[in-house]
Structure 1
């Protein structure tokens, strides 16, 4: 049984494209294969979390007192440098959210590909 390609599972999780016959076949396979079903479930949860993320969910800069303490610990005899800007504008936060999603999806696909390659190598060695 051929498993659904990781990139195809990502496309199914994103749900952006018009469904094709290949998508229908892939979903039939997902219904019968626990491994592909679990992987699609994880990717779908990731996509839903990224799509519903709000700006307040993104990390913010540490409080100024933390920055000062770090600066004193690094160089106690020099003047404390100015802390980094505390608030990122909406566009920057949105870009960071998209980059985080893209990185996560890319990492999931890469791990899946590595897993598949190592499984194929093990199968060949055993035979």
Structure 2
């Protein structure tokens, strides 16, 4: 079997759905493949951290005076623009999870690229 696709690794890390035959095949591959096992381990850590995040862990919106100063410094408008509306709690958690998943996917891609480049260098020497 070829390496497990990043999307399937993410699904396995999220554990949102009942395992399928495809998942079982992927897990058998992961048992034998260090690369896929490391990728799944990293994604699982990201998912665990995102699910454990609390609202106090998320960045807070800047105070109104910050928006007023930005407006004053950038324009001559007397009235500052309104700050963006606050997101509901579930939207903040979803946004954080998406950002963490994107970060993990980027890290996995960079790691794979680095491994491929190292392998190519070794093959040339």
- Give the TM-score category using the shorter length: 0.5 to 0.7
Is the 8 Å Cα contact of residues 14 and 44 (structure 2) preserved in structure 1?
A: yes
- Equivalence map 1:1-127=2 (5 Å): 2-75=2-75, 77-81=76-80, 83-84=82-83, 88=86, 92-102=88-98, 104-105=100-101, 108=105
Question: Aligned to 1:12, what secondary structure does the other structure show?
Answer: helix
Provide runs of 4+ in structure 1 moved above 4 Å: none
TM-score (norm 2): 0.67
Residue 11 of structure 1 aligns to a residue whose secondary structure is helix
Q: Identify unmatched segments of 5+ residues in structure 2.
A: 121-125
CA RMSD of aligned residues (A): 3.1
Count of aligned pairs between the two proteins = 112
Q: Give distance in 1, aligned partners of 2:95 and 2:83.
A: 21
Query: Structure 1 length as normaliser, TM-score?
Result: 0.66
